[in-house]
Structure 1
Amino acid sequence: MDIQTTKIELVKAILDIDNNEFIQKIADFIKKEKTDFWNELSYTEQEEIKKGLEQLNEGKRVSYESFLKKIS
């Protein structure tokens, strides 16, 4: 079954449901799935990621083995 057929089948199934609580759970799930994880991060976390990406772009890298030695 292709994705479009699956979507249509889901819509049909949802239309047949009369349970408001279940419909709300589906709506909440869809809303949560659309949320961009970036917006869920704190400002500090976002800045740390940006800093790490800048360092990678500048060629500042550490080997995995070296990293493991630092944290153990």
Structure 2
Amino acid sequence: MSAIPKPDMPVVELKAKDLPAYCPNPSMPIWSSHPRVFIDVTHGEAACPYCGTRYRLAEGEVVHGH
């Protein structure tokens, strides 16, 4: 499931240590909660299918497989 990123939505920049990415993220207020979904940012930017918040890896961050 993938949402089309909306330019007016906030962007959350993540470091590799923050992965796996999920939404709602810990900084979001409890009242805006929706079911947790994992966001795949390994190929650039991705958006939450529920709220449209955009997530991306910070510049220079590298994702290593396990």
Q: Same fold (TM over 0.5)?
A: no
Structure with the bigger percentage of strand: 2
The TM-score, its normalising length taken from structure 1, stands at 0.18
Q: Which has the larger radius of gyration?
A: 1
Greater relative contact order structure (CA < 8 Å, 6+ sep): 2
